[in-house]
Amino acid sequence: MKDLILSKLTSIWLVLGALTMATWILTESNQSGTLQTIEFVTMAIMAFAFIKVRIIILHFMEVADAVLPLRIFFEAWVVLVYLVIVVIYLFGGGI
Amino acid sequence: MDSSIDSKAGPALTVKTRRVPAEEGLWVFIIGDMMIFALFFGVYTYYRGQEIDVFSDSQKDLNKLYGLVNMILLLTSSWFIALALKAVRSERGSLARGLIALGMGCGIGFAVLKVVEYSEKADQGISLITDTFFTFYFMLTGIHFFHVFIGLGVLTFLFLKARNTSFSESDIRTFEGGAVYWHMVDLLWVILFPLLYLLG
């Protein structure tokens, strides 16, 4: 059991937890910001989320060691979905 | 010429074997599911831009703390399941069973908290037809909740399967498949949580 607890998987879980708490602190500290600050914080919050998603895909779903087409698909998915959300969020009213 | 290179020994070569974890067919399902959710995320963000005041006001009725606790529960559950797969690969079935049970416990915790959250909304008179935000909220979290239920069924199957003391290549692929599915359920919540609860 000790070898499992001390494995890389635990470090990954701790990083994911830390990113979650960072997101929470960022949200709570920006309750009454200006529009620009809110937009910046929102992009940062979504960026943290997609960094977490990439970590889960690569290390928990083991896509880091998978065949290249699978890895390329998921790397592209993470970047494209993040960009789509951010672009629609920033310019959504005018699309 | 670089004298630091030992020409007799030659450079150390590490050949990394790339493979497909789990059954290939499962990835078709995972990719399809993630494409559908990508569409949901885009459509939700678009409608949010169209009715920004409605979405901002209704979002304040959500309990962000529930979303955060559920996030931590699913991340922790994913960690237990990843550890369980490692235990299966090293032929430690009973340890894997314990870890899968812990992972299931976190998943059940998520489901219970979601039911509490839905009940509170019902008590406040909030439903699927309250406004566009809540239509999306119930649809997206409901579809995700359905994935959690399926996932808990998969984990129960893996829990029973981990009774064995040794595992074939095919068994390990089955465990990999269940784990991949459960991690996908986790990562979808990683996006849904900020999108529904935190977007400013």
Calculate the average pLDDT of chain A.
89
Phi-psi region of B13 (alpha: psi -120 to 50; beta: other; left: phi over 0): beta
Task: Report the C-alpha gap between B189 and B140 in whole angstroms.
Answer: 10
Evaluate if residue A1 carries a pLDDT over 80: no
B57-91: pLDDT as tens digits: 999 999 999 999 999 999 999 999 999 999 999 98
Measured CA to CA, the distance from residue A69 to residue A79 in angstroms comes to 16
Res B35: pLDDT: 97
- Binary contact (A95, B200; C-beta < 8 A): no
Q: How many other C-beta atoms can be found within 10 angstroms of the C-beta atom of residue B35?
A: 12
B129 alpha-carbon distance from chain centroid: 28
pLDDT of residue B9: 47
CA dist., res. B29 & res. B43, Å (int): 21
Residue B160 has a CB neighbour count (10 Å cut-off) of 11
Cα B50 from chain centre: 29
**CB contact A73 to B (< 8 Å):** yes
Residue B168 reports pLDDT greater than 70: yes
For range B127-154, the mean pLDDT: 96
Residue B123: the pLDDT is 95
Judging by beta carbons within 10 Å of its beta carbon (0-12, 13-18, 19+), is residue B31 exposed, middle or buried? middle
Give the 3-state secondary structure of residue A95. Answer: coil
Residues B55, B133: contact at Cβ < 8 Å?
A: yes
Interface contacts (A, B; CB < 8 Å) = 134
* Option in B16, B52, B194 nearest A93 (CB): B52
Q: Per the structure block, which two tokens stand in for B52?
A: 């920004």
In sequence order, which residues have a C-beta less than 8 Å from that of residue A31 and are 6 or more positions away?
none
Q: Residue A26: is its pLDDT beyond 50?
A: yes
**Nearest chain A residue to B50, by CA:** A93
| Best mutation target, B65, B79, B80, to test chain A (most A CBs within 10 A) | B79
Provide the token pair at A61: 């779903």
B84 and B162 in contact (C-beta within 8 Å)?
yes
Residues of A in contact with B194 (CB under 8 A): 23, 45-46, 48-49
Task: For residue A30, list chain B residues with Cβ-Cβ distance below 8 A.
Answer: 200
Query: Min CA distance, B137 vs chain A (Å)?
Result: 17
Dist. CA A9–CA A15, nearest whole Å: 10
Task: List the one residue out of B186, B47, B40, B3 whose CA is nearest residue A61.
Answer: B186
Q: Which residue of B has its CA nearest to A32?
A: B200
Token pair of B158 as six digits: 């893996």
Mean pLDDT of A61-66: 93
- A75 at interface of B, judged by CB pairs closer than 8 A: no
- For the whole model, what pTM was predicted? 0.90
Residue B168 CA, chain-centre distance (Å), reads 26
Q: Residue B153 is encoded by which pair of tokens?
A: 């069924």
ipTM of this complex prediction, to 2 decimal places: 0.92
Contact at CB, A65 and B184, closer than 8 angstroms = no
Model confidence at B4: pLDDT above 50: no
Q: Does A79 touch chain B (CB under 8 A)?
A: no
Contacts (Cβ under 8 Å, ≥6 apart) of A25: none
CA distance B189 to B175: 22
**In terms of Cα–Cα distance, which of B16, B107, B44, B122 is closest to B70?**
B107
